């Protein structure tokens, strides 16, 4: 990890710093989305739990039925040690929590909560930004619609969104978009201020400079995307949020419903979510499908458990079995490897907005910047849901300690 220049987990705890406390708060403790301060560390640790107070949002409504977990807390989990990648000495479970700036974590085993902790900022009944875990919810909705015959993954995206005929997405299939193998000019490098991801973000940002003259919303930006010369769609994996936004556009175009409404109808209400979720809404009222979902940690774990069980809950098929199977089977390992984006993730693949590991347990993940994760291990009958606010955005800094931790817990639970 390269966190040495940042405050540690304890000193950056938002409860300790006291953001937005007082009437009015001290100027040094105020956070705003208008000036971007909300996303700077350590303010980030407060903001991830308070997105609704910073941006317009739209609810993913929960229903009257609420699912209640049973708990069987296993105190031995905190005694587990493991060796992170590229390190020689074992670390403790608490080391793992602190080094990842964990805000909340739940471990399910056979559907019961065996571990639950909220180290910083987040409360059990709170909601937290899921960042790019949002993409995997969009991927599941697309998988369901594919199974229902409403979307054909082999069709061109222009069959659904003709407005993209002159864009870099022309010639790409829905499958290319879902697996992020589109050959488009788009960088997701958050450390580069000139990367396209910032132009995409600006297009939907409700807090824009008065002299802003770029695309007026996410969909207008998508029309401007260019194709990489001499590269065909489908050849290489490239993690690009704009693919998720296009997937959501296709979903809304074919159903006539927003992502928020569809997620509520297809998943949130049927599975018995305990709390409304919320999507950050940009200009033109477009929900940010690629990273704007905030939700409760237990509800995120419940969603993971639903997938672990093939879409079933208490004998009832909530999600179609075929949709879940499609997600977990994985994508092209060659396209993933040859991209060179994630050299530590040997043998992994990406499919329908989900990450598929190479381990013998056939585990698969939803992942978001700053440490958000759903890790599903079918063999160990385990689901881990984690919210975090790591100062470093990219998972390449988080994976070397996180993935070994998840695998160590799975190995431990297999013996239970």
| pLDDT values of the chain reduced to their tens digit, one per residue, 416 residues | 455 589 999 999 999 999 999 999 999 999 999 888 899 999 999 999 999 999 999 999 999 999 999 999 999 999 999 999 999 999 999 999 999 999 999 999 999 999 999 999 999 999 999 999 999 999 999 999 999 999 999 999 999 999 999 999 999 999 999 999 999 999 998 888 889 999 999 999 999 999 999 999 999 999 999 999 999 999 999 999 999 999 999 999 999 999 999 999 999 999 999 999 999 999 999 999 999 999 999 999 999 999 999 999 999 999 999 999 999 989 999 999 999 999 999 999 999 999 999 999 999 999 999 999 999 999 999 999 999 999 999 999 999 999 999 999 999 999 98
Closest CA to 182 of 191, 193, 194, 173: 173
- Reported pTM: 0.97
Closest CA to 117 of 377, 398, 385: 385
Question: Which region, left, alpha or beta, applies to residue 94 given φ > 0 means left and ψ of -120 to 50 means alpha?
Answer: alpha
Residue with tokens 């979510």: 273
pLDDT at 360: 93
pLDDT at 4: 59
Rounded Cα gap, residues 301 and 109, in angstroms: 11
Cα 265–chain centre separation: 20
Give whole-number Cα distances, 239 to 205, 280, 292, 398, in Å: 21, 21, 17, 17
pLDDT at 200: 96
Rounded Cα gap, residues 176 and 122, in angstroms: 36
322's enclosing H/E stretch is: helix 321-328
Give whole-number Cα distances, 226 to 74, 169, 190, in Å: 52, 8, 20
pLDDT at 189: 87
Query: 3-state DSSP: the chain helix, strand, coil percent, rounded to 5?
Result: 35, 15, 45
Q: Are 254 and 148 in contact (CB under 8 A)?
A: no
pLDDT at 2: 52
């Amino acid at each position: 990890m390269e966190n040495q220049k940042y405050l540690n987990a304890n000193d950056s705890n938002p409860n300790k710093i006291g953001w937005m406390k007082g009437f009015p708060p001290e100027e040094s403790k105020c956070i705003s989305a208008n000036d971007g301060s909300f996303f700077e560390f350590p303010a980030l640790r407060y903001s991830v739990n308070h997105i609704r107070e910073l941006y317009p949002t739209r609810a993913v409504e929960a229903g009257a039925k609420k699912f209640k977990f049973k708990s069987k807390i296993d105190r031995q989990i905190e005694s587990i040690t493991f060796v992170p990648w590229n390190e020689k000495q074992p670390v403790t479970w608490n080391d793992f929590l602190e080094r990842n700036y964990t805000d909340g974590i739940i471990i399910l085993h056979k559907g019961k909560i065996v571990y639950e902790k909220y180290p910083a900022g987040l409360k059990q009944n709170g909601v937290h930004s899921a960042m790019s875990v949002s993409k995997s919810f969009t991927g599941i909705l697309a998988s369901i619609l594919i199974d229902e015959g409403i979307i054909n993954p082999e069709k061109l995206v222009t069959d659904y969104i003709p407005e993209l005929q002159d864009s870099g997405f022309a010639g790409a299939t829905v499958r290319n978009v879902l697996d992020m193998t589109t050959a488009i000019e788009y960088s997701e490098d958050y450390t580069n201020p000139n990367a396209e991801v910032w132009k995409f973000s600006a297009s939907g940002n409700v807090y824009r400079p008065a002299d802003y003259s770029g695309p007026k919303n996410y969909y207008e930006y998508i029309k401007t995307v260019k194709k990489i010369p001499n590269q065909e769609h489908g050849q290489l994996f490239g993690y690009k949020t704009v693919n998720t936004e296009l997937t959501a556009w296709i979903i809304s175009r074919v159903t006539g419903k927003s992502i928020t409404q569809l997620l509520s109808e297809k998943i949130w209400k049927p599975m018995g979510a305990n709390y409304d979720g919320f999507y950050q809404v940009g200009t033109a009222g477009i929900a940010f499908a690629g990273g704007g979902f905030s939700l409760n940690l237990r509800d995120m774990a419940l969603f993971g458990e639903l997938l672990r069980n093939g879409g079933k809950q208490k004998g009832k098929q909530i999600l179609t079995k075929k949709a879940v199977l499609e997600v977990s089977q994985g994508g092209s390992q060659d396209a993933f490897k040859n991209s060179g984006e994630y050299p530590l993730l040997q043998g992994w693949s990406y499919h329908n907005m989900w990450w598929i590991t190479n381990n013998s347990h056939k585990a698969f993940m939803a992942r978001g910047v700053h440490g958000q994760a759903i890790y599903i291990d079918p063999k160990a009958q385990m689901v881990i849901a984690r919210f975090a606010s790591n100062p470093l955005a990219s998972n390449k800094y988080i994976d070397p300690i996180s993935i070994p931790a998840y695998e160590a817990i799975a190995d431990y639970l297999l013996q239970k």
